[in-house]
Amino acid sequence: MDIAAVLRENGYKVTPQRLAVYEVVNNNTTHPNAEAIYKELQPKYPFMSLATVYKTMEIFAKIGVVQVLQCEEDAHRYDFNTKPHAHIRCTRCNRVMDVDVERDKLADLAQTQTGYRVDSVNVSFTGICAECQNEETGCQNEKEN
Amino acid sequence: MDIAAVLRENGYKVTPQRLAVYEVVNNNTTHPNAEAIYKELQPKYPFMSLATVYKTMEIFAKIGVVQVLQCEEDAHRYDFNTKPHAHIRCTRCNRVMDVDVERDKLADLAQTQTGYRVDSVNVSFTGICAECQNEETGCQNEKEN
DNA sequence: GTGAGTGCAAACGCTTTGCATTCAT
DNA sequence: ATGAATGCAAAGCGTTTGCACTCAC
């Protein structure tokens, strides 16, 4: 994707900051939040501010470059896969993975039941990832209260 | 439900504050957040503090008296219907309604795809409720940016 | 009487905003 | 040269916490 062109098409200026954010998080499959993006930028782009990351991600979301996840977590996470899909988060290590669900079917169901015109379908799961399941034996769960 | 008994069974003391919260939000179908609960308590129970509402709702969630919703919104909302179900929020008036979805099927799907042991399934929708759809004609959408 | 619960205010984490400065156009 | 974008610090929001006081048991 030519991010510069997409920005221009949408009336946004092409700045080093925006290119830097795109460069760092494009093809990133870890579903980072703003803080993570900021930290990842630090070594190569120490001039970046966290506020700019937020502002940039807001624009990226608006022009469809990323989607914002609802992960049953406090901080937003961003996904460069903008195809609608669901996510599952490991409550132990916070790793997030994609899940494909039939969103259209769910939307139809909701529309039929409630009469709402459905605009967005958000599906998320939490669980324990395969890796953490392996480590679980004899190991106390860090997340226990 | 005998909330006093449930509290005692779980080792929590029965206080006027906890009874007041339960009285006000039990059978409440508006999926209120902490602030809304606080405000609803004010006239009848002006002694209540917001912090206590939070603390009480946390306990209620822990002992299964309420469930906490993820509504693609900033503030938590609470639901006294603890049967697992999904929600749809109107982006115009913020009204929230219940939706029944086959969560088990979704959980199986996620488990198969990712290998995670699925602990929770969260489904939420946004849309425009029937009422707001009616009002929509010739009326600018308040939520438009 | 004792420990749990309360209320206040302060702190918190994530996010947004105001504003002077800088930069893309 | 002009308006948009940046960076900083401060404010904002919903939420949690520390602590002295109060109350259910």
Shared-domain flag, residues A72 and A128: no
Q: Contacts by B103-108 with C-beta closer than 8 Å and gap 24+? A: B106/A101, B106/A123, B106/A125, B107/A125
Phi-psi region of B85 (alpha: psi -120 to 50; beta: other; left: phi over 0): beta
* Amino acid type, A141: N
For residues B68 and B61, the answer to whether their CB atoms sit within 8 Å is yes
| B117–A128 C-beta distance less than 8 A | yes
Residue B89 sits at the vertex; the CA angle it makes with B86 and B93, to the nearest 5 degrees, is 160
* Amino acid type, A30: T
Residue A121 sits at the vertex; the CA angle it makes with B63 and A12, to the nearest 5 degrees, is 120
Number of domains in chain A: 2
| C-alpha distances out from residue A34 to A57, A95, A103, B7, B53, Å | 8, 16, 27, 40, 30
Of A43, A62, A82, the domain-final residue: A82
Shared-domain flag, residues B75 and B89: no
In this prediction, residue A144 carries a pLDDT of 36
Residues of chain B with Cβ-Cβ distance to A129 below 8 Å are 114-116
Shared-domain flag, residues A77 and A100: no
Q: What is residue A73's DSSP assignment?
A: S
Whether residue B51 is predicted with pLDDT greater than 80 in this model: the reply is yes
Shared-domain flag, residues B142 and B100: yes
Q: Distance from residue A23 (CA) to nucleotide D1 (C1'), in Å?
A: 31
**Averaged pLDDT of chain B:** 88
Interface probe for B, chosen from A58, A97, A114 (most Cβ of B below 10 Å), is A114
Chain C: nucleotides below 7 Å from protein CB are: 4-10, 13-18, 23-25
Supply the CATH number for residue A136's domain. 3.30.1490.190
Shared-domain flag, residues B64 and B134: no
Which nucleotide lies closest to B10 by the C1' atom and the CA atom?
A: C4
SS3 (DSSP) at B137: coil
pLDDT above 90: percentage of residues in chain B? 58
Instruction: Find the mean pLDDT for residues B41-48.
Output: 93
Distant-in-sequence, close-in-space partners of B119: CB < 8 Å, separation ≥ 6: A91, A125, A126, A127, A128
Q: Using CA atoms, how far apart are residues A97 and A129, in angstroms rounded to an integer?
A: 9
Q: What pTM does this model have?
A: 0.82
Q: What is the pLDDT along chain A (145 residues), one digit of tens a residue?
A: 899 999 999 999 999 999 999 998 888 888 999 999 999 999 999 999 999 999 999 999 999 999 888 776 778 888 888 888 889 989 888 889 989 998 899 999 999 999 999 998 888 898 999 999 988 665 444 433 3
Q: Is A90 annotated as contributing to ligand binding?
A: yes
**Whole domain around residue B32: which residue ranges?**
1-82
Facing residue for B97 by CB, picked from A114, A124, A129:
A114
Shared-domain flag, residues A14 and A46: yes
Shared-domain flag, residues A24 and A77: yes
At residue B137 the predicted structure's pLDDT band, cuts being 50, 70 and 90, is low
Shared-domain flag, residues A74 and A37: yes
CA-closest candidate to residue B96, choices B52, B129, B142, B131:
B129
Shared-domain flag, residues A17 and A55: yes
In this prediction, residue B25 carries a pLDDT of 86
Burial class (CB in 10 A: 0-12, 13-18, 19+), A63: middle
Supply the CATH number for residue A37's domain. 1.10.10.10
Distant-in-sequence, close-in-space partners of A60: CB < 8 Å, separation ≥ 6: A21, A22, A66, A78
Of B82, B102, B123, the domain-final residue: B82
Q: What is the pLDDT of residues B85-127, one digit of tens each?
A: 889 989 888 889 989 998 899 999 999 999 999 998 888 898 9
Report the chain A residue with the minimal C-alpha distance to residue B68: A72
